[in-house]
Each structure stands twice: as C-alpha cells, then as structure tokens.
Amino acid sequence: MLEEQGYAMERYDPWYADDPRLLQQEYDFICATEVVEHFHHPAREFTTLFRLLRPQGQLAIMTKLVIDRQAFSGWHYIRDLTHLCFYCRPTFHHIAQEYGAELSWSGPDVLFLQKH
C-alpha cells in the first residue's frame, strides 16, 4: 500500500526474502506486522531494528498483546508454535526506555516507537 503511495520499500524476511545487504542500510520507517512474536532472541533482534533506524525513524509494530494472566491461559495466540515471544503494554514501555524511543499507540495491537 505504501508503494502505491509512492514510497520506496524493501522487503526482508529471514526465510522468504533473505537479502543481507538490507541489514547494512538505514531506514526512516520499519514495519513489523505480526513479526515480533516470532523472534528467537528478542533483545538481539530489537537491537538490530533500532540500529537500522535513522534518527527520528519509526518502528511500527503490530502484534496481539497479552491482556492478563487469566486470558493468556486460553488465548489462541499461544497455540501457534511459531509464536515464541509474547508482549504486553508494559513490555513495550520497557523497550522504549531501553532504546531511548518515544512510544505511541495507534489501536489495541499497533504501536510506534520513534528513535531519538
């Protein structure tokens, strides 16, 4: 959709579009839609994402969030064996603090982290 609006876009996926040169560039905007729950090493992978962002760049994330312990036990999201990490709002507040980013929400499962 962004390409249709005239934005230059790149696609990276370690399984389906593995192009290491894309990890050597900087970006104004990175979109991770239904991706962060697949991270094997979240600290390492978030560090990489923030390294790739230019100053004032935005990391947009869409993922289902844990609401509470009771809801978690019957949650469909945990049954997907590719889902290794689960996040809640306080987790993203911590990530924002850890990487010096400003956090904003654009709905229950969509957030933006702006690098300073």
**Furthest CA-CA distance within the chain:** 44
pTM: 0.90
pLDDT for 9-56, tens place per residue?
998 887 778 899 999 999 999 999 989 998 999 999 999 999 999 999
Query: What is the domain partition of the chain in residue ranges?
Result: 11-33+42-58+79-103
CB 84 within 8 A of CB 38: yes
pLDDT for 85-107, tens place per residue?
999 999 999 999 999 999 999 99
Residue from 55, 10, 6, 47 nearest 30 by CA: 10
